[in-house]
Amino acid sequence: MSSPAYFDLGVDGAELERLVAGQHHDPHHLLGAHPERGGDGRERVVIRGWRPDAIGMVILADGRRVEMRRVHPAGVFAGVLEGPGVPDYRLEVTYPGGVVVVLDDPYRYWPTLGELDLYLLGEGRHETLWHHLGAQVRVHQGASGTSFAVWAPGARAVRVVGDFNGWDGRIHPMRALGSSGVWEIFLPEVGPGAHYKYEIATQGGQLSLRADPFAFAAEVPPATASIVAQSTYEWQDEKWFARRETTDLLHSPVSIYECHLGSWRLTQADGGGWRGLTYREAAEVLPEYLRDLGFTHVEFLPVAQHPFAGSWGYQVTGFYAPTAVHGTPDDFRYLVDRLHQAGIGVLVDWVPGHFPKDDWALAHFDGSALYEHSDPRLGEHQDWGTLIFNYGRHEVRNFLLANALFWIEEFHVDGLRVDAVASMLYLDYSRREGEWVTNRFGGRENLEAIDFIKQSTELVYRHHPSIMLVAEESTAWPAVSRPTYLGGLGFGFKWNMGWMNDNLVYFSKDPVHRPHHHHELTFALLYAFTENFILPLSHDEVSHGKGSLLAKMPGDRWQQFANLRCLLTWMWAHPGRPLLFMGGEIGQNDEWRHDGSVDWHLLDYPEHAGVQALVRALNTVYRREPALWEQDFDWPGFRWIEPNDSNNSVLSFLRFPLTGGRSIACVANLTPVPRYDYRVGLPHPGRWVEILNSDSAEFGGSNALVGAVTAEAIGWNDLEYSAAFTLPPLGVLWLAYEPETNPSSAAP
């Protein structure tokens, strides 16, 4: 075609060739409606349309039919509407074989992102970014459709493809919005349920299909397309939020049930076999189960979209979409809502530390190291085979900051447990000499990640001060759960990995060896109040060949169960909030399998049912007794009675309330030998009542109950009073101070 054919309707030939070749950075500049004045001075609108392989095109506007001229044989047409203003027009497109379709022209619409949005993204400060990037169902310039926007600054061109255009990357090229790196297009008549991806042309000329980093829904793996989604869910958890907003989590009972939704309980799949519950199926059984056992919160292993079940959710490919394995985003909202209505708070594991290398997800997203560092010494986790976010890049940091708020605001979750914080803090994490680079001061601390962590905790708590931010941090990094203005990282809580390790080491020892490991149990009190600790017996401790909690316990079958009951009762009384992974509450025999289920049939056996009964009792008494949680994070709430009786493997301590309630003594005999006439120091004279005994027959024990004891004026353990009684074998008991009522003060 000769050049004049390009130019007779204001068409630049070079632009046309770039459009047809799929290399135009701003197709809207060429296509769509363009008002102008003709050579005669009259106003008119030049309309250009692009439909690959079309053989004819007509403008339909205000009852007029205006034939368009083909200005490029690949399918570019141009026509003129005389008169001022741009009417609401449509394009009638004819294809070979006489196929005719009428469509709204996506290139007649203005951008759906404003300059402020792009500025804030560039600054890394767009707190509601998920409302602007990704696939947004909206009414734009009076038309219903979906806008698509993606950040890909290194791309030569970006096209949106999906079932709405036959996955043909030629049809809908997107425009670059200035120098922001954002590509955008509004597609009228595309709505919820549409499957899509971005076809990205790299600077090197390669094409790759990418899932949307901001997709709100995705296909069930192994399929990888993103899905246009718009929530229609109506929440019914107003009462829960009213209570949450007035709850001080540092001075309230918190006991957490950690749950992997895919393997909590299985049901029969269509066509045979077994599958995990859907969100809605879980909503019918999980809230009531947790309420019956008395847990205050459930913590889900990552529910964000992940293609590989064996990663347990920790290799996320869709940070803004709940995994489709269990249902739709609104189905997940329903589960959270039902948990709230049952009085159960919801935490989800959040993974801002790394992401997988899948070539359809974030890795080298636009052909460059975009979300990750280009230097593998900074950008790759060798142990996990994943990539590390580039926290120094404003847009990457914004992606993650907005994601934290997204889960809290869109799904009403009550907290985030941040995974693998230690791997973010240290540049040399799990690296040998020569495999890492120092920070600008020559140190090993990842200064950019630290700034990101502080910014994220400040942001979340500024908007939602009543939620929980929990760090899984396994080192001695100081002040993890202290405010940033005091030099901390700003989390509300931290997992106490040292407590977990020491306790499991101790309880795995045969009682004959325990005197030599006695202070494994006391060591945690040297630092117990330096952080707001959660005591985790988590999924990590019952997987990868480590065996179940029960299997770690020494001795014969009876002693194994007695030891497990001791461990749980010791944990619930210890300073810190208890967290127990599913299966631990029934004394599961085997370690956790992500593709299996909790072995619920074990509840047919009394010893397993006894462990569950104990957990129920622990939560019931724990929630009732302020001494066990009201001063969990401060020394006034705790006092050793006897930490040093290693010969007998007996430990005892006191817990005190803050404003009311009664003092509680916890006494642990961690050998199978009863301790007769064992004297324990107590702070108050009079009656102390047994409120829980792990050796109770109700829980599968030998039923060596204490009942009640009287503290007499015999000084012991540096306390003014004491009582002597029999300690049950392999038993932990709680005694509560209950002074007798003064008859003279009783009402007549």
CATH number at residue 708: 2.60.40.1180
DSSP 537-591: E-GGGGSTT---HHHHS-SSHHHHHHHHHHHHHHHHHSSSEEEEETTGGGT-SSP
Residue 202 lies in a domain: yes
With a cut of 70, say whether residue 2 has pLDDT above it: no
User: Region 331-354: what's the mean pLDDT?
Assistant: 98
Residue 163 lies in a domain: yes
Query: Residue 145: what are its φ and ψ, rounded to 5°?
Result: 180, -155
Q: Can you tell me the distance from the alpha carbon of 228 to that of 194, in angstroms, rounded to the nearest whole number?
A: 5
Q: Can you tell me the distance from the alpha carbon of 736 to that of 573, in angstroms, rounded to the nearest whole number?
A: 12
Domain residues for 741? 634-745
With a cut of 90, say whether residue 213 has pLDDT above it: yes
Residue 430 lies in a domain: no
**Hunting for tokens 């106003």 — which residue is that?**
43
Report the pLDDT value the prediction gives residue 13, as an integer from 0 to 100: 84
| 122 and 223 part of one domain | yes
What is the percentage of the chain residues whose pLDDT exceeds 70?
Answer: 98
Report the pLDDT value the prediction gives residue 741, as an integer from 0 to 100: 58
| 100 and 33 part of one domain | yes
| 120 and 55 part of one domain | no
Report the pLDDT value the prediction gives residue 7, as an integer from 0 to 100: 44
With a cut of 50, say whether residue 529 has pLDDT above it: yes
pTM of the model: 0.95
pLDDT, tens digit, for every residue of 676-702? 999 999 999 999 999 999 999 999 999
Domain total of the chain: 3
With a cut of 50, say whether residue 503 has pLDDT above it: yes
With a cut of 80, say whether residue 740 has pLDDT above it: no
Residue 87 lies in a domain: yes
With a cut of 80, say whether residue 611 has pLDDT above it: yes
Domain boundary among 198, 227, 256: 227
With a cut of 90, say whether residue 347 has pLDDT above it: yes
Please work out, in degrees rounded to the nearest 5, the angle formed at the alpha carbon of residue 80 by the alpha carbons of 74 and 85.
Answer: 125
Q: Can you tell me the distance from the alpha carbon of 255 to that of 664, in angstroms, rounded to the nearest whole number?
A: 18
Q: How many CA atoms lie within 13 A of 377 on its CB side?
A: 10
| 166 and 210 part of one domain | yes
The reply to whether 36 belongs to the active site is no
| 121 and 41 part of one domain | no
The reply to whether 419 belongs to the active site is yes
User: Region 409-425: what's the mean pLDDT?
Assistant: 97
In order of 500, 522, 627, 654, 657, the CA distances from 639 in angstroms are 21, 12, 12, 5, 12
The catalytic position among 117, 472, 585, 632 is 472
| 153 and 119 part of one domain | yes
Residue 602 lies in a domain: no
Which has the closest alpha carbon to 650: 662, 659, 642, 638? 642
| 662 and 724 part of one domain | yes
Q: How many other β-carbons are positioned within 10 Å of the β-carbon of residue 559?
A: 17
Residue 209 lies in a domain: yes
Q: Can you tell me the distance from the alpha carbon of 265 to that of 258, in angstroms, rounded to the nearest whole number?
A: 14
| 129 and 83 part of one domain | no
| 22 and 124 part of one domain | no
Q: Can you tell me the distance from the alpha carbon of 499 to that of 537, in angstroms, rounded to the nearest whole number?
A: 10
Report the pLDDT value the prediction gives residue 633, as an integer from 0 to 100: 97
With a cut of 90, say whether residue 125 has pLDDT above it: yes
Whether 274 contacts 268, CB under 8 Å: yes
Would you state the structure tokens that stand for residue 394, as one six-digit string? 């404003």
Report the pLDDT value the prediction gives residue 9, as an integer from 0 to 100: 60
| 120 and 223 part of one domain | yes
List all residues 6 or more positions away from 162 whose beta carbon is below 8 Å from its beta carbon. 190, 194, 195, 196, 197, 225
Residue 496 lies in a domain: no
Report the pLDDT value the prediction gives residue 39, as an integer from 0 to 100: 75
The catalytic position among 419, 448, 625, 642 is 419
Residue 433 lies in a domain: no
Domain boundary among 46, 78, 106: 106
Which CATH number does the domain housing residue 152 bear? 2.60.40.10
**Hunting for tokens 């101070």 — which residue is that?**
737
DSSP 220-235: PTT---EE--------
Read off the pLDDT band of 4 (50, 70, 90): very low
| 152 and 99 part of one domain | no
Query: Residue 417: what are its φ and ψ, rounded to 5°?
Result: -100, 115
The β-bridge relationship of strands 731-737 and 664-669 is: antiparallel
With a cut of 90, say whether residue 475 has pLDDT above it: yes
Read off the pLDDT band of 10 (50, 70, 90): low
pLDDT, tens digit, for every residue of 423-471? 999 999 989 888 899 999 999 999 999 999 999 999 999 999 999 999 9
**Hunting for tokens 């930490």 — which residue is that?**
643
Domain boundary among 173, 195, 227: 227
| 143 and 86 part of one domain | no
What is the percentage of the chain residues whose pLDDT exceeds 90?
Answer: 91
DSSP 455-489: HHHHHHHHH-TTSEEEE---S--TTTTS-GGGTS-
